[in-house]
Structure 1
Amino acid sequence: MGGLGGHVVHGFGILAIGLWQTFHHIKLHAKNPKSYTSLPWFPTSRIKYFELYFIMIATSISLVIELYLTPYGHHLLDPDGTIPSNHFRLFEHGSISLTFFMSAFLSIVLDKLAPPDVQYGLTYLLYALAFGQQLLLFHLHSTDHVGLEGQYHWLLQIVISVSFSTTLLGISHPHSFLNSFVRSASIVFQGVWFFVIGYTLMPASLMRKGCYMSLKKGHIEVRCHGEEALDRAISLANIQFSWFVLGMTTSMVTLYLVMIKYYLYHNYKSSSTDYCHYSLTNFHVLDQDHDNDGDVEEATNNGKIQESNL
């Protein structure tokens, strides 16, 4: 994940999932404000498990990058079969990707095989485990994230902790739109902050005043000349984070208001034509207006999420 390219690629994948979740949670709430029930993932009419397939493909690409393309000479291990000290970070990044891959894969298995009364909670628990793993490995990172680089990663952990806590709360608060909205917005923020880390710390042209890049144990690190330059760079990072919090809040609320207006006043004026019923593990939508946007919000009586063309 180190370097500009690694942060941007990972940030793009996380951002895409965050925006997907945000869009569908807002849409679901706009159509069913009184009977809203959060969903851990959203099926589509053409490819039911599109979201989960995307996560599995993206994390597989991440694993290939971390464990094959990143190591020097494509040699992950030493000749004696041990892990070089400068490759531990690759295994840590790979473990995060593997956890999200297994969460998506097991979500498909649960949808096909699990009883309805446990499917919902277990699916959310899987993603809480993934975010918890991500938070733990970033906190206990083998790479010595100190100084300016450490500050950016510490701020990232704040965002990850929000994703982790709201995912856990989703198990006990399935009807809370606010919890789902904050969770999906935090995932978007994760993706954005990966972009910020990559473009702020890696290009020499954007390096903070008084700071420079150095190579240590095969890993590029950011160092600063003296305490004054370091304090200045950290203060700028904190201000930058606060501005992004403000910008993200404004953007997410604006998106919510625009989508609410669109779905409530354009496509769903007549409440008598839409009937929705939700439970913890299944949901059923009858839409006589035949929404043609390709998104699916239908499930069967046995609790399994299934496709429908609205």
Structure 2
Amino acid sequence: MLEGHQLLGFGFFVIGVWHLFNHTKVHALGSNSKSHTSTLWFPTTISRYMELHFIMASCTIFIAMELFIAPIHHQPFDPDGTIPTTHLHNFEHSSMAMTFLLYAIFAIVLDAKRATAQHELTHLLAAVAFTQQFLLIHLHSRDHVGPEGQYHLLLQLLITVSLATTLMGIVMPKSFLVCFVRSVSIVFQGVWLMIMGFLLWTPGFQPKGCFMHLEESEEYVVRCSDDEALHRAVSLVNILFSFLVIAVTVFAMSFYLVMVWRYGGKVEYVSLVKEDHYREEDAFVKPKAPTVDVESNMDHVESQNKLTMQDQI
């Protein structure tokens, strides 16, 4: 059964790969590194705002799942209109999606109105969304302990990278590396969220000695039988993250090389010896010193001396 983390992760993965493809393609097609400009969404031939519409649709579906589909009574409130403890995390997850939904909506409005500060404000909106995501995961109402806590701790690291590179895109709009790292971090977020959903809340995928336990709050939490099993589970999460760092790095570098090979122009190489030869001929050859006629100079001096003697007489 699909879980919210898996659906959210799939959305991040699709957007991350889409950004990675477009940023690398623009970089490869550009004549120089300064031709690249940081952007957070890309138009398509089908629809200019297809990417932003995808974000809006994904966020809307996620919010509906958290607030109306997942709850037993298909609404997140108690009979007296208050928010029950069991649904606090649903509102937290929905708040994250709402922020990304607002980002997509205002990105369309800013582009349609051709706002002067469109670039800066769009990046700021995305930074607000990543900040909201980080804070709500860091200050989550659920007691993130054990393997679940380790998954979320490492997720915060990925969100921090996405947030930092988004803010850097405001002051460094021509940096391809900033866009590249941001795209890879979004891909990594998607992969990590999908893996988290499968390995934590899919029965039978928990580490040995750990299990899904239904708490008094009617929430399923991953618990471990003893400290040894807990330590092993946390260590496995760290090892998994380390392997994924290697895998994502290999994927990103391979993706870049393939894109540059596919879209990059040919580079002409010039022999260094030949180049030095041309430089010496064109710019570094010293001009010849003017020649001096010694005999004419001596005759000129003698004539000057004779004139001086005549004047004295």
TM-score by length of 2: 0.82
1:295 maps to: none
Letter in 1 for 2:136: L
Could you say which residue in structure 2 is the equivalent of 1:79? 79
Map of 1:55 onto structure 2: 55
SS of 1:159's equivalent? helix
Contact 1:151 1:237 in 2 (8 A): yes
| Cα shift at 1:210 | 0.8
Equivalent residue letter for 1:143: R
Question: Going by fraction, where is helix more abundant, 1 or 2?
Answer: 2
Q: Which residue of 1 aligns with 2:102?
A: 102
Shift of 1:114: 4.5
In the TM superposition, 1:134-149 aligns within 5 A as 134-149=133-148
**In the TM superposition, what is the alpha-carbon distance from 1:269 to its structure 2 partner?**
5.1
SS at match of 2:150: helix
Question: 1:117-128, aligned counterparts within 5 Å?
Answer: 118-128=117-127
Q: Is 1:5 aligned to residue 3 of structure 2?
A: yes
- Per the alignment, residue 232 of structure 2 pairs with 232
Instruction: Tell me by how many angstroms 1:14 deviates.
Output: 1.0
Max Rg structure: 2
What secondary structure does 2:144 align onto? coil
1:190-210 deviation line (CA, Å, top 9, x unaligned): 110011101211223221111
After superposition, what is the alpha-carbon deviation per residue over 1:212-256, rounded to whole angstroms, capped at 9, x for unaligned?
A: 110121221100011111011101110110110110011011000
Could you tell me how far apart the structure 2 residues matched to 1:177 and 1:42 are? 15
Could you tell me which residue of structure 2 aligns to residue 261 of structure 1?
Answer: 261
Work out whether residues 25 and 177 of structure 1, in 8 Å CA contact, stay in contact via their aligned partners in 2: yes
Counterpart position of 2:40: 40
In structure 2, the residue matched to 1:69 is: 69
Instruction: Give, in whole Å, the separation in 2 of the partners of 1:67 and 1:112.
Output: 31
Q: Which residue of structure 2 lines up, in the alignment, with residue 173 of structure 1?
A: 172
Q: Distance in 1 between matches of 2:51 and 2:156?
A: 24
Correspondence for 2:21 = 23
The structural deviation recorded for 1:258 is 0.3
Q: Which amino acid aligns with 1:130?
A: A
Q: What is the identity, as a one-letter code, of the residue corresponding to 2:26?
A: L
Contact 1:4 1:202 in 2 (8 A): no
What is the CA distance between 1:75 and its match in structure 2?
2.8
Which amino acid in 2 is paired with 1:89?
H
Counterpart CA distance in 1 for 2:157 and 2:267 is 42
Q: Which runs of 5+ in 2 are unaligned?
A: 269-313
Amino acid at match of 1:128: A
Runs of 4+ in structure 1 off by over 6 angstroms are none
The separation in 2 between residues aligned to 1:270 and 1:255, in whole angstroms, is: 20
Q: Which amino acid aligns with 1:63?
A: I
Q: Give me the identity figure in percent.
A: 50
Q: CA RMSD in A?
A: 1.5
Aligned to 2:12: 14
TM-superposed deviation, 1:4: 4.9
Residue 230 to residue 172, structure 1, CA distance change in 2 (3 Å): same
1:30 is aligned with what amino acid? Answer: A
User: How big is the shift at 1:45?
Assistant: 2.3
One-letter code aligned to 2:203: A
Is the Cα–Cα contact under 8 Å of residues 135 and 157 in structure 1 kept in the other structure?
A: yes
Of residues 32-41 and 68-77 in structure 1, the stretch that sits farther from structure 2 once superposed is 32-41
* Structure 1 letter corresponding to 2:172: H
Work out the CA distance in 2 between the residues paired with 1:64 and 1:208: 31
Of 125-134 and 209-218, deviating more is 209-218
* Aligned twin of 1:111: 111
